[in-house]
Structure 1
Amino acid sequence: MPTFREITLPEVTLRCAIEGQGPLVVMVHGFPESWYSWRHQIGPVAEAGFTACAIDVRGYGGSSRPHPVEAYDMEHMTGDIAALVEALSPDAPAVLVGHDWGAPIVWNTALTRPDRVRAVAGLSVPYTGVPKRPFSDMIEAVFTSRGKFFYQAWFQNIGPAEAELEADVRGALRRFYYAISGDAPDGAWPSDKTHGQSLLEGLADPDPFPAWLTPEDLDYYVAEFERSGFRGPLNRYRNHQRDFDFLRRFEGRRIEQPALFIGGERDLVLSMLGKGDLMAIMGAEMPNLRGADILPGCGHWTQQERPAEVNARLIPWLASL
């Protein structure tokens, strides 16, 4: 088991699960997860000769949970990661690895704070460059204006989404995790929902749950969210305009560090706003992209659903740096 440390940064304190010695590798989770989502990677990364550090992002678990929505914009999130690297590895930049929301956080930390980032890997969410318009505009154009449901639109109003998820944390996590996993059948994430419906409407609760998430794993996540709630995690989705305003400052800059991408063939993230040549786009924005693999049959929860396959790509990439 890793050792837990609370690292006090200028704005927040982050709980970190740390194991091993050597160059620092910081692992950043997504929604709705925890440091625990890297449980299959921490040991192998440490055994490969690195200091593996999986964090609770601000708003989650054992980390600080600021109240304001704007405390969760991309400028704050990338600032946390840069400050954490400075605290744990003051004399050398770190490798960053992120999944789901953690992927944009590490991609953009590499972009905006290259002095702190030696290399960067993203799982599930590819990097497509400095945005040309706020993501909320794309949601409006593709979904809301057509009366179609999109989960990030449902998350915008403070209160209803929190109440829905916190009313039955176990049931909410089971249904959400399953619906976008590689084990769920086509249609498990309903395509016919209308704008104004809630996240969990139409999502099935499987019995039994797929083996990649054991009852003990689910118990851990449930305890974490029953303690910390969902306001902080949901606030990340309420900053599309602020994120855009921040990242526009870096127009024309590319991610030059060594990079890696791993996605899932059945991950809805890769098709939610239309299909394009993601590999070509990523290659143009990250000229040192050293690998980009799509795992057959894998859903959204990349490193949990396919730990062996992820580690088989991640560890050699780390060793090559």
Structure 2
Amino acid sequence: MTAFRMIDTGPLSLRVAVEGTGPLVVMVHGFPESWYSWRHQIGPLAAAGFTAAAIDVRGYGGSDKPEPVEAYTLEAITADVAAVADALQPGEPAILLGHDWGAPIVWNTALSRPERFRAVAALSVPFTGVPQRPFTEVFRRAFTEKGKFFYQEWFQEPGRAEAEAEADVRRFLRAFYYAISGDAPPGTWPDKPAGATLLDGMIDPPVFPAWLSDADLDYYVAEFEASGLRGPLNRYRNHERDYEWAQAFGDRRIEQPALFIGGSKDPATTLFGAVSDPVAAMRPHVPNVEGHVLEGCGHWTQQERPAEVNRLLLDWLGRLPG
């Protein structure tokens, strides 16, 4: 049975949902999610002989929520992940699993601490190496400078996106989840000018896809109504700091066994159209990667396609060297 533990990482405390015994798998969610986004994986992992540990990333749910923007750097959050692994399985390398923002978090945790993590799996977002420039420069050239809206630009100014999302958390979550799901028809994520807001033109569907039940949505809504969105959005406000930190690892590759699972309808899997074959793009940087792209799957990989994800994940875990 899943139980919550509060783990002191030093700077703060994190809530971690833990189930099972055996080799440790630390699971890291994305935006705007929760430990709960791994609800379909925790039990099967535990049943397969692993300790499944799904964290609430700092700023989310039951974890501490520091105020400063700079408290949400990759440097800080990868240290959180390592501290959870040290607390739950001291002295033995753990396995990482991440989705959405959790994917860059686990990729960079494995990159920066190769001795501490023996394998890494990520959903939705591939790893294409240490960045050559901050992502703010990338999206401003591709979108903002051309007069086009990009959601991460909208997130940059503290307070602005928080106010829009927190005004009606349920509507925000429904519209955001639906727009990049595999169920949404083309154009649901609208093209709009740079001066628009996130929710301008977004659809709150009359009937939500079956992969997210009313009870599931109620859980997420309650979490964000209690915690707010400042901490989660601060993750997007650290691209320059993340770039500077990552340069120390520019000569490294992720050498551990790796698994990538993306969705053919997930814009993050193709890095917003920048790569046609995400697995091929990863190989120079993650030579031991095994990759799968699920046809018709959107962004919420392990929630939209739990059976397929679990099958691929458990098969890969079963083949890892001891």
TM-score by length of 2: 0.98
Contact 2:275–2:281 (CA under 8 A) maintained in structure 1: no
- 1:266 matched to 2:282? The reply is no
Q: Deviations over 1:245-300 (max 9, x none)?
A: 000111110001000000001001134152343222211111111x2000011000
8 Å contact from structure 1 (residues 45, 51) kept in 2: yes
Q: Which residue of 2 aligns with 1:242?
A: 241
SS of aligned partner of 1:222 = helix
1: CA distance, partners of 2:273 / 2:134: 13
Query: How far apart, in 1, do the equivalents of 2:311 and 2:82 lie?
Result: 27
1:160 deviation in Å? 1.1
Aligned to 2:179: 179
Deviation at 1:119, TM superposition (A): 0.3
Q: Which deviates further from its counterpart, 147-156 or 1-10?
A: 1-10
Q: Does the CA contact (< 8 Å) of 1:58 and 1:232 recur in 2?
A: yes
**Residue of structure 1 in register with 2:159 after alignment:** 159
Is residue 14–residue 62 contact of structure 2 (8 Å, CA) maintained in 1?
A: yes
Who is 1:212 aligned against? Answer: 211
For 1:106-255, what aligned pairs fall within 5 Å after superposition? Answer: 106-191=106-191, 193-255=192-254
Per-residue deviation, residues 75-97 of structure 1 (Å, max 9, x unmatched): 00111111111111112011000
Asked if the contact 2:29–2:101 (Cα under 8 Å) also holds between the matched residues in 1, the reply is yes
> What is the deviation of 1:319?
1.1
Give me the whole-angstrom Cα distance separating, in 1, the residues matched to 2:139 and 2:297. Answer: 25
Identity across the alignment (%): 65
- Amino acid of the structure 2 residue aligned with 1:36: Y
Q: Residue 93 of structure 1 corresponds to which residue in structure 2?
A: 93
User: The residue matched to 2:54 in structure 1 has which SS?
Assistant: strand
Separation in structure 2 between the aligned mates of residue 273 and residue 251 of structure 1, nearest angstrom: 24
Name the counterpart of 2:306. 307
Residue 320 of structure 1: how far off its partner (Å): 1.0
| Structure 2: runs of 5 or more not aligned | none
Paired residues for 1:35-46 under 5 Å: 35-46=35-46
Cα distance in 2, alignment partners of residues 113 and 82 from structure 1 = 8
TM-score with structure 1 setting the length = 0.98
Tell me the distance in 2 between the aligned counterparts of 1:266 and 1:273: 11
- Cα offset for 1:153? 0.2
C-alpha separation in 2, matches of 1:99 and 1:57: 12
CA distance in 1, matches of 2:139, 2:155: 12
RMSD across aligned positions (CA): 0.8
Aligned match of 2:294? 295
Consecutive unaligned residues of structure 1, counting only runs of 5 or more, are none
Alignment partners' CA distance in 1, 2:287 and 2:186: 35
Cα pair 1:142 1:273 within 8 Å, conserved: no
Query: Which AA in structure 1 matches 2:249?
Result: F
